[in-house]
A = this chain, B = another copy of it.
Amino acid sequence: MKAVMKVDKNPGIKVMNTDKPKPGPRDVLVRIKSTAYCGSDLHLYKWDGQAEKWNSPLPRILGHEFCGDVVEVGGNVSSIKTGDKVAGETHIPCEQCIMCRTGRAHICENMKIFGVHVPDGSFAEFAVIPETIAFKLPSDTPYDIGALYEPCGVAMHAVQRAEPEPGDVAVVLGCGPIGIYVQQIMKAIGSDVIATDIKKFRIDHAKRVGAAREVIDASEGNTVEKVKNVIGQRGADIVFEAAGAGETVKQSLDMVAKAGKVVLFGASPDNPTLDTTTYIVYKEIDVRGLTGRYMFSTWDRVERFVSRGLVDLESVVTHKFPLDKAEEGFQLLLKGEASKVILNP
**Does A280 lie within 8 Å of B289, measured CB to CB?**
yes
A271: chain B residues at CB < 8 Å are 273-277
A297: chain B residues at CB < 8 Å are 101-103
Partner of A287, one of B101, B287, B301, B304: B287
Q: Determine, out of A2-10, A139-147, A187-195, A332-340, the stretch whose residues face the partner at the interface.
A: A187-195
A189: chain B residues at CB < 8 Å are 166, 189-190
Residue of B nearest to A292 (CB): B284
Q: Determine, out of A11-19, A60-68, A91-99, A171-179, the stretch whose residues face the partner at the interface.
A: A91-99
| Residues 61-104 of A at the B interface (beta carbon under 8 Å) | 76, 78-79, 95-96, 98-99, 101-104
Give how many copies assemble into the complex: 4
How far apart are the CA atoms of A286 and B288 in the complex, in Å? 5
CB distance from A48 to the nearest CB of B (A): 15
**Does B190 lie within 8 Å of A188, measured CB to CB?**
yes
- The majority secondary structure among interface residues of chain A is loop
Partner of A300, one of B102, B287, B301, B305: B102
CB distance from A292 to the nearest CB of B (A): 8
| Contact bitstring A248-288, B, C-beta under 8 A = 1, else 0 | 01000000001100001111100111111101111111111
| Contact bitstring A294-316, B, C-beta under 8 A = 1, else 0 | 11110011001100101000000
Q: Is A109 an interface residue (CB 8 A)?
A: yes
CB distance from A118 to the nearest CB of B (A): 17
Q: Is A291 an interface residue (CB 8 A)?
A: yes
Q: Which 3 A-B pairs have the closest CB atoms?
A: A167-B304, A280-B289, A102-B297
Could you tell me which A residues sit within 8 Å of B by CB distance?
25-26, 76, 78-79, 95-96, 98-99, 101-104, 107, 109, 156, 159-160, 164-167, 185, 188-190, 192, 234, 244, 246, 249, 258-259, 264-268, 271-277, 279-291, 294-297, 300-301, 304-305, 308, 310
